[in-house]
A and B are shown apart, each in its own frame.
Chain A
């Protein structure tokens, strides 16, 4: 028989015992709904974490440092590519030449120096020690600041700051919302290095709030306290809200990268460089942040940078483990969700076996008119498949509604707790198609026994049946 005829006959047969078949189909729908609701929750949670990690720049950033970061006798804080032979050679300097070489690598979007220091942020009468970090212009479009209140820096040289909600709270009077710091000025006090001219030409230091000229040719530098005012243009969510996740180069206050560089703040490696007798000419970076155009390219860039003789670091391994965790988590959710579908499949078997008993004579007539065993088998399969398809579609709709209800309840609960509610629920198209396909597959598998039993019926016996 043709597929269209099989489907037509199957639909007609299902309509005849409408109550029983509807209940069986409802059983499948409930099974699919539980599967969809649980998996949509798993997928939603995974996407929430993925979004957080992506915003934090963990997926597309490689941190590069010189290999000789630690003197003998001291451990290395960052992961290093184990290259014992290379370690014996003089370590390569992370200078402008190296920066350009890295920037020329395929898939590299930009290479920025890491500027990071500790300063005191002050807004009378409150003050707070804070980690300050330079932020590249590209961060504006990276999604890193999606949940920020206010605006991004008006230009690369603007004397503006973006602060974390925690810092804003501490600088404000009690009870004020962090966003009320927007537009106000805060003062940063930091340790500035000032170049020392050759001993014969000792000069008085300049005013502390003015950036000094580069000191490459100097014999060394002095460290002086310096202050500078910045206007707050953006406030990031406080860490106690759900959206306030940790970021790559996590800091309490961000300045435009170019501004942060010009401050000439003493960096950790400066003291060590002074101690060395082999100071080179030109800019030397403590670390570079390499922005890659796709997370898939991170591992390759990491490897290429290591080959150049630098220590490269990314959190790609951490995210890989995270994905493994969620794969297992989703598997367990899927198994629990499938239990209801397994029970529903017993309902299909029961319904179809009952149908064989009721339609024994009909099967005999079909065979007498020329239906082959295959036709009878396919007819019962089609009936099981139609129940699976209808149950699958209704199940997805039901699961979607349950997921919405869970999301709604979660949002309500978190808002009452004073937290920023995230989206923890997602029904991607592959879940919709997969759930319907799975329902049809389970239904067809349930139909195997009844269909074979119907196909094996002896037509002579079946025609005698009253």
Chain B
């Protein structure tokens, strides 16, 4: 059951986490991957989640993405409480409200680029007549218009990540989540990808998007993000407002 966020809890935030925890049991030990985190991300903001490996940043991103459910607390995305959503509603949230980019691209190797990018449209049951135009638009935006018939294995790492970004944007979500998007790329290609994400955040024309990016590179976060939230042992240890 989807519970609409009250006006007090919304207030123009794209995402709001309220005392969110995600605990795992491993044998007798309780792992507090995310522990009582409260966080607000404004609509149109570029937030970088920084932290060492195992600090809980990817777990928090998965909770915001609706890929995982919190053990306690609430997460609101676009005013809707993810913790109260059914699995079907969470799936619709992943399809419509957010787009996700992974470190390892996660393109399906058996499909061409256009088929990979078309997948979210198939899931959304977008009419077939609309799909080719939407796919072309998304691929041209990431400058892959000439590679639509290629399979992922025929592309470089940077091109694969650009294709993954096109796939994340094809349903025109308002929030883009990126989990170490440059982690598998060399510095030059990584910079190209970050420039592309920055362009998606603040395009030359039209509305921008809220970006939440997980990274362990402080310099990268400082260069592109509006705000950096550093996590340590599942809790927020530091917040820096950059712009």
Contacts and interface: CB of A to CB of B under 8 A. Distances in A.
Interface of A: 1-2, 4-5, 9, 12, 16, 361-362, 364-375, 459-460, 463
Contacts of A365: 106, 108, 119
Interface residues of B, number: 27
A374 B124 CA distance: 13
A2 B125 CA distance: 6
Given A1-B125, A5-B122, A12-B110, A367 B91 contact: yes
A368 B87 contact: no
A2 B88 CA distance: 15
Given A367-B91, A372-B92, 18 more contacts: A1-B122, A1-B123, A2-B125, A5-B125, A9-B122, A12-B111, A364-B106, A366-B119, A367-B94, A369-B95, A369-B100, A369-B167, A370-B92, A370-B94, A370-B123, A371-B95, A373-B87, A463-B67
Contacts of A459: 67
B96 interface: yes
A361 B110 CA distance: 13
B102 interface: yes
Interface string B98-141: 00101000101011000000011011110010000000000000
Interface string B52-71: 00000000001001011000
Nearest to B62: A460
Contacts of B91: 367, 370-373, 375
Contact of B95 (A370, A373, A374): A370
Contact of A374 (B62, B88, B110, B125): B88
Please classify the interface of chain A as helix (H, G, I), strand (E, B), loop, or mixed, using the class held by over half of its residues. helix
Given A362-B108, A463-B106, A368 B100 contact: yes
A367 B110 contact: no
Contacts of A369: 94-95, 100, 119-120, 123, 167
Contacts of A2: 122, 125
11 contacts: A362-B108, A365-B106, A367-B94, A368-B106, A370-B120, A370-B123, A370-B171, A371-B91, A371-B123, A372-B91, A463-B106
A375 B123 contact: yes
Contacts of B87: 372-373
Contacts of A5: 122, 125
